Amino acid sequence: MKKERPVKKTEVKPPPSLQKRYINVYLCLGSNMGDRKENLRLAYHSIDKNIGKVARKSHLYETEAWGNIKQDPFYNQIIMVNTTLQPRELLGMIARIERDLGRVKTEKWGPRTIDIDILFYGKRVIRDKGLEIPHPELHKRAFVLAPMLEIAPDLEHPVLKIPIDQLYLDCKDTSEVVQLD
């Protein structure tokens, strides 16, 4: 009886030009309706499953509403996700997750079960219809900068060329941002 030689398995990788590359994307999660903590937990898990691996996350923060202040306070959290999705694909998936979690857009800055904003997509700057990255208001909002300071203080804003820690120090937003856990 002949001895069979073991078959050597080799992994075939596409050439570097065809390999998908991971991009670090920073997202802001917010909720001020229903079980806010559970809404953020469900969004986090859906993002991890459908968008990419959550590599970093801030603590939860309770924050005053911004823009339309006559509403309940928000729970906010910033997460960094490693994704291979292109910016438009990312935006589409975020919209689907928000819909799946009960988001109904009725008014600008109104109450919501879940809100997911793209803050940064690597170092890219995108100004397109319905998609602006980095988020055009992030440097004005303490509820974004406080948790960003926690997970990425040295990250430089690609348009302003200022790191997060300095943006936080320069921010004129005096609304209360309280770390919860």
**CATH (domain of 26):** 3.30.70.560
Determine, yes or no, domain membership for 164: no
Determine, yes or no, domain membership for 179: no
Predicted local confidence at residue 14, as pLDDT: 60
Predicted local confidence at residue 108, as pLDDT: 63
Determine, yes or no, domain membership for 180: no
Predicted local confidence at residue 4, as pLDDT: 65
Determine, yes or no, domain membership for 83: yes
List 112, 124, 170, 173, catalytic entry:
112
Please say if 88 is a catalytic residue.
no
CB count within 10 Å of CB 115 equals 21
List 35, 48, 117, 181, catalytic entry:
117
Predicted local confidence at residue 12, as pLDDT: 61
Highest mean pLDDT among 13-17, 28-32, 71-75, 173-177: 28-32
List 88, 103, 127, 128, catalytic entry:
103
Determine, yes or no, domain membership for 104: yes
Of 109 and 65, the one with more pLDDT: 65
Determine, yes or no, domain membership for 175: no
Please say if 112 is a catalytic residue.
yes
Determine, yes or no, domain membership for 11: no
Please say if 5 is a catalytic residue.
no
Predicted local confidence at residue 64, as pLDDT: 85
Which residues, other chains included, contact 124 with Cβ-Cβ below 8 Å and sequence gap of 6+? Answer: 23, 87, 133, 158
How many structural domains are present in the chain?
A: 1
Identify the domain containing residue 100 by its residue range: 20-136
Determine, yes or no, domain membership for 152: no
pLDDT digits (tens, 9 = 90+) for 97-146: 999 998 777 666 667 889 999 999 999 999 998 899 999 999 999 999 99
Please say if 117 is a catalytic residue.
yes
